[in-house]
Chain A
Amino acid sequence: MTVQATRHIQISLTVNGYRSTTTVDARTLLVHHLREHERLTGTHIGCDTSNCGACTVLLDGRSVKSCTVLAVQADGAEITTIEGLSGPYDGFTAVQEGFRQCHGLQCGYCTPGMVMAATSLLTDHPDPTEEEIRLGIEGNMCRCTGYQMIVESVRWAVEHPEPGRGG
């Protein structure tokens, strides 16, 4: 067994509005880069097969699983993590506030990924049906809530639109 020589590459990201230029090991996953170099630990890791979605962030406005993107692939991109959300509900976005109002979280571990997936969903589909919501968060696992209250949380956000979100 041999070890591949590691190659370091300079990348430049805009993370939550701030420009960040660093050198990374070419094999570094975006999620590890965000957590360990940017120290944005709100983005979590729950699997190693891209199933759980706990690591969901927005890359140029679209939701991605940051365990499935290399940091170098994100070079030049704008990244939004859970720490980068802000809105009119005491600083929360309607999606965050919906989760609070409807008890859409328990242990909170899947929550940042779930909130980012829901945020992305509502950007694309401002008024989704229940089925569209369930399909829209299909890539995100929650082991605590049984999902109904998450669906209700997203509905809450739909019913409380924010300026600048979606149509």
Chain B
Amino acid sequence: MSLVGARVLRKEDPRLLTGGGTFVDDLAPARCTFATFVGSTEAHATITSIDVRLALAMPGVIGVWTAADLVDHPDLPGGFPGLERPVLARNTVRFVGEPVAVVVAEDRYIAADAAAAVDIRYEPLPVVTSTEEATSPDAPVLFPRHGSNIATVVPMLDDLERDLQRCDQRASLHLVNQRCAAVPIETMACLADWTTEGLTLWATFQAPHHLRNYLAAWLDVPQTQCRVIAPDVGGGFGSKIVWYPELFLAPLLSRRIRRPVKFSQTRSEAMVQMAHGRDQVHDLDVGFDRDGTIKALRFVITQNLGAYPDPTGLGLAVLTSWMAAGCYRIPKVSTSFRTVVTNTTPVAAYRGAGRPEAAYSIERIVDLVARRTGLDPAEVRRKNFIPPGAFPYETHNEPVVYDSGDFPQALAECLRLLRYDERRAEQATRRGDPGASLLGIGLSCWLEIAGFGPNGSLEGFGHLASWESAQVRIQPDGSAIVFVGSSPHGQGHETTFAQIASDELGISYDRIQVRFGDTATVLQGVGTMGSRGVPTSGSAVKRSSANVLLKAKKIAAHLLEASEHDLDVADDAFFVRGTPGKNVSWGDVAWASFQPLRLPPELQAGSLEDRLYQESPNFSYPSGAYGCVVSIDRDTGEVTIEDMVLVDDCGTVINPLLAEGQVHGGVAQGIAQALFEGVQYTAGTGQPVTGSLLDYLVPTAPDLPNYTAGRITTLCPNNPLGAKGIGESGAVGAPAAVVNAIVDALAPFGVEHVDMPVTPEKIWRILEEHR
């Protein structure tokens, strides 16, 4: 029986359900010290003085360091030329929370006391928090030597003005895709222990090898003396692939004081120090005919980078522009973007990273076309879909060739699960009744780019490469260890990759162990991001397992005196096809594989091991159709999600239980962006309004609905599993479904758009205007 496709229970769960997990802050080596960073209280200022004497005098304080103590060390890696980020602020601070000094003490209480006692004086400078302010002609400039706040500009080759004019109608939208915080429940943490053997850094990170590569270079030590371990990681969502100063300074300080240094962020620190996501402004123009055919799309993106450009942050708008046309055949598409620095926390990847922004805008635009033409939104989608026979489909951007999909089928399934016609009829009835709550129905036929990626793709974000590695090693008893270069943070690698290996090897699931997250024991890896786990890492496991099986069959054939071509493998044994009595167990084959006298001449001892680096010829393109039904209280503006239908196409599903879990989690974050979340700053001062979980509204169980999951399957032709990836789908597809539903509910009032988060207050104000 195949395990791929089965609802197998997770290997990870027993330890995590008993308190047996190992998260970074759980570690406590002997003589461990604790580091606390002193963050800037100003959004933009010149540092005039730092007085650490009081802090240094406190019992239990080991040391206090500032930029003046780090003159021999470079800025953080991957910076944009001229806009690099120092590890500790040097002369100027550029966002609230930017680390200015670091205290190391005997424990976290003393460190917190001492951090509060570091006296930093500032001379405030004018502050910009929005891209609009930052790009105005008289804006204060964050990096005077750079001369402006604009980091990169990718201009438009053709503004499509003539094409737009030639259409029957045209429409414009100005959308804000607001800044969000990833909020993994485990904040940033690391533990550095520099001994005579070199450094070991435990870090809650999505890509330990990536960190090791850059950390060793920054510390100027060979990689052999720089071991990075990502133990259990309490969520990431993109926020744990970022070069935080703490990850570089804890090792440095451990070397200086010759003791382990632990750093474990408080949530209030995390809200201003961990990278934020999204924060794009879109100016969209669409040209279309009366029958709803979309002819031209102009898509202009402005990306807020925060105070220092992050390598991924710089790439977000690239991905948005690539995916601008979504799942539609639009003859003319033109995109442009610029990236802008502001006095805010740096922006980097957050679940979906550039694709939720694209999907949201194109799905809002399609609804606007439906509104202006008077056609049903489902009809406009069907009219413009790329047809199922058109794959591989070349888009407006050369690197982007959609692999496969069936958008009409996904939409049809979504409408069926949604009982679309029935709900439309109900909506018409309710609209006639002023006492009834408002009903809205929203669709989102989304498409994303995932499975990162083909050679050269992740390199653009500063990664070593875009492949992922796997190593399969058979133990003498016929059990197997699978090492993977991608390191999980909740995805369930131990389970899904064991399922894949079990099917390939014929070794039972319980006899396979998956290991990762340690640069000293796992071969070079890339990391877990961009919905690449199953398509890239999983494919590596599949092929590597198949390579091992080929060799195992040679040994089994030798032992059975049969032809390897006549052998089948199942249930931990090899059988001669047609002669089931003639068999040898995996354990016997594995044992023999270490004994040269029992091996066929072409194999050596230890042959049952394989390693490979899985390259991908193209990205994968998960897609789906989501439907949302909302009701809105006319008196309070409160939105209730009555129905949330999720039809996904992620190609091959390894474990439906885990795939569904990924979708649910992503959708929850998508709904949260649509309704609740948004990082805010006070204009003029740059002080964060949402600096804790009291002010930043992460939804809890009563805030979210039940989900109705559906599925269609078109296989990805670009990897041996046929898988497309699932981690980001929900976050990509959900916001448009929810906002389209709300705008649909408010249609009788002439509302064509409401920016996220669509709070009860925003809706109440709209309803008040029309009372």
Contacts and interface: CB of A to CB of B under 8 A. Distances in A.
A52 B267 contact: yes
Interface stretch (A58-66, A70-78, A108-116, A156-164): A108-116
A45 B23 CA distance: 11
B704 A109 contact: no
Given A42-B19, A44-B23, A143-B185, A106 B661 contact: yes
Contacts of B116: 1
A82 B234 CA distance: 17
Interface string B718-745: 0000000000001000000000000000
A162 to B, nearest CB: 15
Interface string B484-527: 00000111100000000000000000000000000000000000
Contact of B235 (A1, A40, A92, A109): A109
A41 B232 CA distance: 13
A7 interface: no
A124 interface: no
Contacts of A28: 109
A107 B266 CA distance: 19
B315 to A, nearest CB: 24
B234 A109 contact: yes
Interface in A110-154: 110-112, 115, 130-131, 133-135, 137-151
A165 interface: no
B458 interface: no
A92 B17 contact: yes
B16 to A, nearest CB: 3
B707 A144 contact: no
Interface string B661-697: 1101111110000000000000000000000111000
Contact of B700 (A36, A83, A100, A141): A141
B12 interface: yes
Main secondary structure of the interface of A (DSSP, over half): loop
Given A44-B186, A141-B698, A143-B183, A149 B26 contact: no
Given A3-B58, A42-B20, A143-B669, A107 B489 contact: yes
B14 A100 contact: yes
A91 B235 CA distance: 27
A68 interface: no
A35 B651 CA distance: 43
Contacts of B22: 41
Nearest to A3: B113
A45 B185 CA distance: 8
A146 B17 contact: no
Interface in B254-279: 264, 266-268
A103 to B, nearest CB: 5
Given A48-B268, A51-B694, A138 B702 contact: yes
A97 B380 CA distance: 47
A8 interface: no
Contact residues on B (Cβ < 8 Å of other chain), bracket = 35 or more
Contact of B18 (A46, A83, A151): A83
A87 B394 CA distance: 57
Given A144-B235, A151-B701, A109 B267 contact: no
Nearest to B671: A146
Contacts of A52: 185, 267, 693, 698
B6 interface: no
Contacts of A100: 9-10, 13-14, 17
A9 interface: no
Q: Most chain-A CB neighbours within 10 Å: which of B22, B117, B187, B702?
A: B702
Contact of B665 (A51, A130, A143): A143
A44 B19 CA distance: 9
B13 A107 contact: no
B233 A107 contact: yes
Contact of B693 (A47, A110, A150, A151): A47
A41 B16 CA distance: 11
Contact of A107 (B268, B490, B698): B490
A123 to B, nearest CB: 18
Contacts of A110: 185, 234
Given A99-B17, A108-B21, A143 B692 contact: no
B397 interface: no
B19 A112 contact: yes
B657 interface: yes
Interface string A76-92: 00000111010000001
B704 A146 contact: yes
A27 interface: yes
Question: Which 4 interchain pairs have the tightest Cβ spacing?
Answer: A42-B19, A109-B234, A108-B16, A107-B490
Interface of A: 1, 3, 25, 27-28, 32, 35-36, 39-49, 51-52, 54, 81-83, 85, 92, 96, 99-101, 103, 105-112, 115, 130-131, 133-135, 137-151
Interface of B: 9-10, 12-23, 25-26, 28, 54, 58, 107-109, 113, 116-117, 119, 183-187, 232-235, 237, 264, 266-268, 489-492, 657-658, 660-662, 664-669, 692-694, 698, 700-702, 704, 706-707, 730
Given A35-B26, A51-B698, A112-B19, 5 more contacts: A44-B185, A49-B268, A92-B14, A108-B12, A149-B660
